[in-house]
Structure 1
């Protein structure tokens, strides 16, 4: 098939590589004229790493990421609530990787550029007659026909608007995120991801590179803080303000005393090399992703609150599912229906779970039961109950220890 993918992010590029590997002729159009390694850290869960391994990318990932050993849940005093082994240490067939988002995108971009057609500076703004993409370029508008058009163009997707023209702005519940990177001494074993605090104020931290010669390690961190109470119709800050530079003075009143035995949170914040501010947003699940020979993928299909490391991971899983569906069904409409039937209910479930704090709900429970901390966790909550809740979320979100 001749396939056009709108969007050269992680999901779109992975889909392009997966579809090309199945013999399709693929073109990727990316709106940005000069893609650069922007952003901060993300986590790739083992099932997504398995997909990238099938595309021959595992050696590259090992060379540019930290292999996550565990996810630790902690209270705002730095006391561990639960340690969840991850990747190979958790019995999975593949590692979990903590990695710089921009560096991963650039690696995928290079791989795709070497194998298929990737064009920057061209934005898909619509579709006419079912299979003709309307494209904006610096030289003016143009059109391009394809057997299949895939919208992988993010939370503000033009192709999504064809399905939900009156959807409006993304949903916001009053939480802002500050994402930063800092050089600091390794914490714990140098490979652990930690989520500390609760839904009103949470600090997520993990390394995204090996220690350099001076012993310092590049640490990715995310500070979440509720700035507005969730109310119906609450509007997020204007899109033009997304990813603007954050200010240290907005964080220290909340996190300035979060000094743990194993991590100095205010010290990490004040040493930030970069710090960006984002609203924590998602969108309501769509009743369908396809319209004629078009479909959606990644954040265009299912933008979700960033809990549980699901954003990039679910986009990668979409890519594999779409490639599989096209391989298993000769009829395009049947293939797109099969892809959507596999992916849409799962992703809608994750959106709903993350709106209820997802994995992080246990942090709120411990905060409510022991706001001043605890001497022994078992005096506050049954550790087996914590484990069961976390494992239930993981199962519902598609975690699996072995590739199919």
Structure 2
């Protein structure tokens, strides 16, 4: 069996590694002409880490990532609302990892090239169309370097090409643009003094106004007084256009700093963190409505091409990795790709779609909004602001979303 994967992001590369481990021939193509370690930080939930460990990537991951020890919520004044252990500290068999997206992509790409050769990923190849026959699928690809059309044949075609998936558009040509929830995000990475445990993720504020997420991407080294910290600023915009939903779009410090210039959270100076970022990315918080079907004969979708979701609960990359493992398991040993892809669809689509819908609700943010409403100037004891049941709702919300595998 030969599988053609469109897209060399986290989902596409993990799928290629998973298929190779199952004894399946695989080819990856990507429209960009040069793969570069771009982006900012992402989080991998323990079950996603476990899937990568199964692929022999435990040591490579540990060398590039931070094992997150806890998640702590604050109000915008730095008063603690709630905290919970994460990953190994919470009793999971694998860590929850915080890692730079570019570094994770490099780990996956290096492993793929080591196992399949340098030609495992063909860059500068943009998928444009596909036709299916009884025993194969033919993909028409635009070779950008030669400016010519190329036909590639395979037994299976997998679209792992992200939010603006060309494969998804081929299957659903009338779908339209992603939907925006009114929240604009700015993201960056900067050096900052270590805070809390040195492996803590902090969230402050609430999505009804402004929210900040920050976590380290490098460990505290002896003799060093700073670590690399990833940050995400989420601001509810009262009006204005959605803007381009392209994750590499550059943003401006002046647009985001006024919301956070005086925030001091858990020993972290938010204003200094934002101002210390060499590059800032700007992005509307968008997703797409869940699809009724991913697999069409010999063609299927995974990752953001199948279920783009709001970045809540560290689920985006994690769900793509789980898709990769599931599609490889369905195809392994199969002599009927159509039946195998239908089984993959049944195994993963409902679960992933439920995460998309749960992330729209953002259950933990309802409680944080209550804190802001009841204690607009801050508080001394969270027990004076929230009931025990309201505090439990935060934990229950995270567990409900992150438990979907």
TM-score range, shorter chain: over 0.9
Moved more, 35-44 or 364-373: 364-373
- The range that moved more, 330-339 or 192-201, is 330-339
Deviation per CA, 1:135-155: give whole Å up to 9, x if none.
Answer: 111221101111110000011
Counterparts of 1:235 and 1:283, CA distance in 2? 18
TM-score (norm 1): 0.93
Contact in 2 for aligned 1:307/1:360 (Cα 8 Å):
no
- Indicate how the Cα distance of structure 1 residues 395 and 155 shifts in structure 2: closer, same or farther if over 3 A, else same: same
Residue of structure 2 in register with 1:80 after alignment: 80
Q: Which segment is superposed worse, 372-381 or 383-392?
A: 383-392
Give the distance between the partners of 2:266 and 2:320, measured in 1 at CA: 36
| Number of corresponding residues | 395
**Which residues of 2 match residues 146-165 of structure 1 at below 5 A?**
146-165=154-173
CA distance in 2 between partners of 1:261 and 1:54 (Å): 35
Asked whether the 8 Å contact 1:73–1:82 carries over to 2, the reply is yes
**Structure 2 counterpart of 1:204:** 213
Give the SS at the match of 2:376: coil
Question: Which 4+ residue blocks in structure 1 deviate beyond 6 angstroms?
Answer: none
Structure 2 residue 379 is the aligned partner of structure 1 residue 374: yes
Q: Counterpart of 1:192? A: 200
State the alpha-carbon separation in 2 of the partners of residues 242 and 36 from structure 1. Answer: 14
CA-CA distance at 1:261 after TM superposition: 5.3
Q: Deviations over 1:189-208 (max 9, x none)?
A: 11001111001210000000
Q: CA RMSD in A?
A: 1.8
The 1:9/1:63 distance shift into structure 2, 3 A limit, reads same
CA drift at 1:392: 4.4
Q: How does 1:50-69 map to 2 (within 5 A)?
A: 50-69=50-69
Partners of 1:141 and 1:359 in 2: CA distance:
48
**Runs of at least 5 residues in structure 2 that lack an aligned partner in the other structure:** none
CA gap of 1:344–1:235, structure 2 versus 1, over 3 A, is: farther
In structure 1, the partner of 2:36 is 36
**Aligned: 1:215 with 2:241:** no
Question: Does the CA-based 8 Å contact 1:326-1:335 persist in structure 2?
Answer: yes
Check whether the contact 1:8–1:29 (CA below 8 A) recurs between aligned residues: yes
Q: Relative to 1, partners in 2 of residues 1:146 and 1:359: Cα closer, same or farther, differing over 3 Å? A: farther
Q: Does 1:167 align with 2:175?
A: yes
Cα offsets for 1:359-383 (capped at 9, x unmatched): 3333222222322222211122124
User: Is contact 2:358–2:401 with CA below 8 Å preserved after alignment?
Assistant: no
8 Å Cα contact 2:11-2:302 kept in structure 1? yes
CA gap of 1:325–1:256, structure 2 versus 1, over 3 A, is same
Which residue number in structure 2 is paired with residue 326 of structure 1?
331
Q: Deviations over 1:19-74 (max 9, x none)?
A: 11000001111111110111010001100000000000011111111110011122
Q: Evaluate the alpha carbon distance shift between residue 144 and residue 235 of structure 1 in structure 2; reply closer, same or farther with a 3 A threshold.
A: farther
Paired position in structure 2 for 1:277: 282
* Deviation of 1:226 (Å): 1.6
Alignment of 1:354-369 (within 5 A): 354-369=359-374
Shift of 1:163: 2.5
Aligned equivalent of 1:262:
267
1:273 Cα deviation from its structure 2 partner: 2.2
Q: CA deviation at 1:394?
A: 2.0
1:129 aligns with 2:135: no
Instruction: Give the conservation status (yes or no) of the 8 Å contact 1:175–1:228.
Output: no
- In 1, the alpha carbon distance for the partners of 2:13 and 2:255 equals 36
Instruction: Please give the alpha-carbon distance, in whole angstroms, between the structure 1 residues aligned to 2:43 and 2:244.
Output: 27
TM-score in terms of structure 2 length? 0.93
Secondary structure of 2:279's partner?
A: strand
- CA offset at residue 119 of structure 1? 1.4
CA spacing shift, 1:337–1:361, aligned 2, 3 Å? farther
CA offsets 1:233-268 (integer angstroms, 9 cap, x no match): x963135x6533222211222111212351111111
Instruction: Answer yes or no: is 1:309 the counterpart of 2:314.
Output: yes
Structure 2 CA distance for aligned equivalents of residues 238 and 104 of structure 1 = 25
> Of the candidates 174, 190, 207, which is equivalent to residue 182 of structure 1?
190
